[in-house]
Each structure stands twice: as C-alpha cells, then as structure tokens.
C-alpha cells in the first residue's frame, strides 16, 4: 500500500535557485459547521537564501499559509493545490502529498524546514529544561548522536545566538528566561540542523521594540552566516521593509500583490497595498495632517462571492467587473505581480 503510493508519486522539479513553490494553495477551516476559506488559491515562490515577507492584516491567512508549509495546521484544516519543496539532496517533493506527522514529513521538519513562533514563551513546555527540549531536535534527526554531542551542539548554537552563560542556561527552565531570550533559544534550536528554510511567524510581535531590534538583527546575521531562506510572516510593514528582499501582500486569503520590496513600497500597484502604505503613520517623513483611512472592515471569509476580495472597500472598484469575477494575476513589470482588474488587457 505504502509502496504503491510512493510509486504513484509524480516527479516534480524546480528551477535551480527556487527552494519552495506553492501553486493554487487553498486551505479551508471547518469551525462549528461553517467553512472558513482561510487561503484562497495562492501562488508563492521562494528562492534560495532570500527573505520573503508575507504581510497582511489579521485574518488574511498568512499564518495558516505558513503552518501549511510545515504541515502543522490542526486537523480541521483541509488543503488543496501543491507546495513543492526542494530537499537538501536535490529531490523535489510536494509537501501536501506527504502524510501529516508521517515519518517522511517529520524528517523534513526541524531539519530542512524549521519554524519560529510569535510567542516564544509558549513555544516551550514549562516542565522540561530548555536544554532538554533543545537537544531533542539534534537527537531526532541524528540518531547516531549522543546526548553529550547534542548538548555540545546546542551550547554552540546558544553562543551563536548570543545567550550568555549557555552552560548554565542549558539546565534552566523556560520560566527563568525572558521573552527575548526564549526567542533566541527557539531560533538557536530551530537552526541547529541548518535548515534550508526558516518560517518566522510574527517572531517579534510579542516583544518590546528594543528587543525586537535585537532579534531582527540576529536573524539577519544568522542568515548571512548560515545561508537559509526565510519566510517572514508579519503585519508590520516596517519590519518587511528592513528584513525582506521580496514581499507578498495578502488580503482575505489571496496574494494581491507580489514583487521586490522596492517595487512594493515605491511603486505599489494594487489599491490595497497603496492605501495600506498611505494609512500608516510615519516616523521618517514629515507629519501628514491626516492619515488615509481605508473604509469599511475586512469581511468574514465564509461563503465569499466569486469576486475580488477587496472590492467592497476599494475606491477604484469597477462595478460589474470587480464584484463579478476574480481578477487575473498580471505581471505589471518584471517580477512584479498584481491581482487586480485595473491592470487588465488595456495595459497588457
């Protein structure tokens, strides 16, 4: 049975510099009998050693997307489409075909794809020492390693992320760490097998500004030293601007705009992106008298019509077009994609 399934698996391939590619990914969540369309058909491509920002407001599906990549969404989520991932040995897998929590997927998690979370304080169990929990990741993926090996490696990693007195810290419990230190520990743990992809789900949202700066700084340094790709999920456009090379803007389960960080920030094409940037108070430029405010609220993603998700709030909404069908994805300039009917055939 199992072997058959393996044989049936299609051969996939990815271009040389591409690590991860999601196509038409959809995730539905069943809650209380209703079906929430959390992710509604997104295409995403992540290159080696780049940082891709996935940005959007709460409920836009960015977190669900990231958890789908590493396969840890709860069992009431179902997904379709494909997520292709290139393993260290060069083979390409469709992650959605793997059995969740099956051996194959587990061999990838924490080894080739790792993830850090929004609340480092809850990412560790309070009952075991930090060292115990961190060593696990070595012991799982390197069966030949002894506990001593693991401890050595972990202490080395703790030094790398700037945790002082790692030998003492190793035997402490999570509650003896501050939030910032726990995030460092989590990063150290997740990177100890040198994964190719790190998913960072709002890793600094729960931290203070000065601590956030420390962590962001650390992540940049580690990326250049270890050379991994980062999928950075955040709602903070400021962080995106300083951390990412490319950005995907999500709204209501769709990627509405995708491009390099400069394209997105300096030449936003989608009305949502542009308005979002304009509604942001700035420290760096002169104070505006009034902020631009996007009207209305984000709709609940249940039984959505076949239409652009933003049309109700969009000032440039074209009646009969935007509210009637999904807009196509248009490449407005090299590498800059927009999902908006404004850039239809007239330009292309």
What phi and psi, each to the nearest 5 degrees, are found at residue 342?
-65, -30
Nearer to another protein, 1 or 283 (CB): 283
Residue among 34 and 227 whose Cβ is closer to another protein: 34
- In the bound state with another protein, the residue whose beta carbon lies nearer, of 210 and 224, is 210
Query: Which of residues 23 and 72 has its CB atom nearest to another protein in the complex?
Result: 72
SS3 193: coil
Closest approach of Cβ 326 to another protein, in Å? 21
Residue 94 CB neighbours (<10 A): 16
For another protein, the closer of residues 190 and 222 by Cβ is 190
Residues whose CB is less than 8 angstroms from the CB of residue 1 and which lie 6 or more positions away in sequence, other chains included: none
Taking the least distance from each CB to another protein, the nearer of 67 and 153 is 67
Q: What's the min distance (Å) between Cβ of 348 and another protein?
A: 27
Contact 54, 232 (CB under 8 A): yes
Give least dist CB 261 to another protein, A.
Answer: 4
CA distances to 74, 155, 233, 269 from 56, in Å: 21, 36, 8, 16
Structural contact between residues 96 and 81, judged by C-beta atoms closer than 8 angstroms: yes
Q: How far is the CB of 23 from another protein (least distance, A)?
A: 23
For another protein, which is the closer residue by CB, 2 or 293?
293
Q: N- to C-terminal Cα distance for the chain?
A: 49
The pair phi, psi for residue 168, each rounded to 5°, is -75, -45
Residue-wise over 106-123: b if at least 16 C-beta within 10 A, else e? bebbbbbbbbbbbbbbeb
Shortest distance, CB of residue 291 to another protein, whole angstroms?
Answer: 4
- Residues 298, 302, 307, 312, CA torsion sign: negative
227-238 burial, b at 16+ Cβ within 10 Å, e below that, comes to ebbbbbbbebbe
Minimal distance, residue 106 CB to another protein, in Å? 4
Tell me the C-alpha distance between 81 and 97, whole Å.
Answer: 10
Q: How far is the CB of 47 from another protein (least distance, A)?
A: 17
């Amino acid at each position: 049975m199992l072997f058959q399934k393996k044989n049936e698996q299609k051969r996939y391939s990815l271009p040389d510099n591409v690590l991860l590619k999601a196509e038409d990914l959809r995730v539905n969540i069943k809650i209380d009998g209703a079906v929430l369309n959390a992710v509604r058909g997104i295409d995403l491509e992540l290159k080696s050693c780049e940082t891709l920002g996935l940005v959007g407001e709460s409920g836009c599906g960015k977190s669900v997307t990231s958890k789908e990549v590493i396969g840890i969404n709860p069992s009431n989520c179902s997904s379709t489409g494909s997520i292709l991932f290139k393993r260290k040995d060069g083979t390409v897998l469709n992650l959605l075909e793997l059995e969740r929590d099956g051996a194959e997927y587990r061999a990838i998690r924490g080894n080739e794809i790792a993830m850090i979370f929004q609340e480092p304080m809850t990412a560790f169990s309070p009952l075991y020492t930090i060292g115990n929990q961190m060593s696990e990741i070595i012991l799982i993926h390197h069966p030949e390693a002894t506990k001593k090996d693991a401890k050595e490696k972990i202490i080395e990693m703790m030094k790398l992320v700037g945790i002082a007195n790692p030998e003492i810290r190793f035997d402490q419990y999570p509650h003896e760490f501050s939030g910032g230190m726990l995030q460092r520990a989590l990063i150290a743990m997740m990177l100890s097998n040198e994964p190719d992809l790190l998913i960072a789900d709002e890793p600094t949202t729960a931290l203070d500004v000065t601590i956030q700066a420390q962590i962001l700084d650390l992540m940049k340094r580690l990326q250049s030293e270890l050379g991994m790709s980062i999928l950075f999920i955040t709602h903070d456009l400021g962080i995106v601007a300083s951390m990412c090379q490319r950005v995907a803007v999500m709204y209501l389960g769709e990627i509405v705009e995708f491009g390099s960080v400069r394209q997105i920030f300096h030449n936003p094409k989608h009305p949502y992106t542009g308005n979002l940037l304009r509604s942001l108070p700035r420290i760096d430029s002169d104070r505006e008298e009034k902020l631009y405010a996007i009207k209305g609220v984000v709709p609940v993603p249940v039984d959505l019509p076949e239409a652009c998700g933003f049309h109700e709030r969009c000032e440039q909404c074209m009646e009969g077009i935007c509210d009637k069908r999904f807009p196509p994805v248009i490449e407005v300039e090299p590498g800059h994609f927009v999902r908006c009917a404004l850039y239809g055939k007239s330009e292309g």
